[in-house]
Amino acid sequence: MNDVMPGTLRVPANPYDYTFDVGSTALVVIDMQGDFLLPGGFGEVLGNDASRLRPAIQPSMRVLAAARELGMLVVHTREGHLADLSDCPPAKRLRGQLALGIGDPGPMGRILVRGEPGWEIVPELAPIAGEIVIDKPGKGAFFATPLDHVLLSRGISSLLVAGVTTEVCVQTTVREANDRGYECLVLADCTASYYPEFHEATLAMLASQGAIAGWVADSADLLAALAPLAPLVRRMRRAFAVGGAA
Ligand code: C5J
């Protein structure tokens, strides 16, 4: 069991309680883009039913709202490629022998290309001013991006992870983060896969062998741990507001 410092929060998790400090924790929301969550996007081009990812939206909205209220660092990621596809290796572009692939015109613009409608984060989870958005060409959010620098420079050592898909970009990012020394709590109901069995297996693998890559919890347990902080933060905000009183 970890030594728990004052100010440390505790969330019941698999394989054992996850402890973290809000000031050194970021919420990372991975690839909640139309290309994965909406009909006609990259996910569907690959033969998947995009509606299977939608249950992750509502719980992610609740966690995002809590993180915003507490002033936690929020990071969104977007998978996508430059318009000339110069950052998309042929191994990725040609994989799957698809009739319609990365860079081709689809119902939401060019598939998985930056700036196209399908590449945008869905409106329910759209970033707001001050939040960090990491554009990534690969599955992992650390590959070919400044994410590690962004987190280290803000003293972040712990990540709360939401997003899609569980076994692809979420899992890759958590494993990358783990190897870089971050402690990750994956929020089971804030992640989703086109294949429920892959979702379950991934969460089990990540938390296996004593949290070999990270911890897994339901968002309700995280929100319960965060809830007592909200009134304190509101009081502090009032106290520091010009002319305000605690
Ligand atoms: C995929 C992702 N599935 N965000 N990307 O290619 O999981």
Residues 85-114 have pLDDT tens digits of 999 999 999 998 888 899 999 999 999 999
Pull the structure tokens for residue 89. Answer: 């290796």
Residue 68's pLDDT band (boundaries 50, 70, 90)? Answer: very high
Best probe residue, ligand 1, of 49, 135, 139 (max atoms within 8 Å of C-beta): 139
SS3 241: coil
Residues 120-138 have pLDDT tens digits of 999 999 999 999 999 999 9
Q: Measured from the CB, is residue 167 less than 6 Å from ligand 1?
A: no
Best probe residue, ligand 1, of 164, 176, 191, 193 (max atoms within 8 Å of C-beta): 164
* 8 A C-beta contact, residue 205 and residue 166: no
Distance CA 190, CA 179 (A): 23
Residue 218's pLDDT band (boundaries 50, 70, 90)? Answer: very high
What distance in angstroms lies between residue 16's CA and the mean position of ligand 1's atoms? 28
7 vs 246, higher pLDDT: 7
Q: Measured from the CB, is residue 192 less than 6 Å from ligand 1?
A: no
- The DSSP output letter for 23 is G
CA 232 to chain CA mean position, Å: 26
Q: Measured from the CB, is residue 36 less than 6 Å from ligand 1?
A: yes
Radius of gyration of the chain (CA): 18
Residues 8-66 have pLDDT tens digits of 999 999 999 999 999 999 999 999 999 999 998 999 988 999 999 999 999 999 999 99
Residues 149-205 have pLDDT tens digits of 999 999 999 999 999 999 999 999 999 999 999 999 999 999 999 999 999 999 999
Residues with catalytic function? 31, 136, 169
Look up the pTM and report it. Answer: 0.94
Residue 146, preceding peptide bond in cis (omega within 30° of 0) = no
What's the distance, Cα to Cα, between the start and end of the chain in Å? 37
* 8 A C-beta contact, residue 202 and residue 167: yes
Distance CA 75, CA 79 (A): 13
The pLDDT assigned to 242 comes to: 58
The pLDDT assigned to 237 comes to: 86
How crowded is residue 46: how many other Cβ atoms within 10 Å of its Cβ? 15
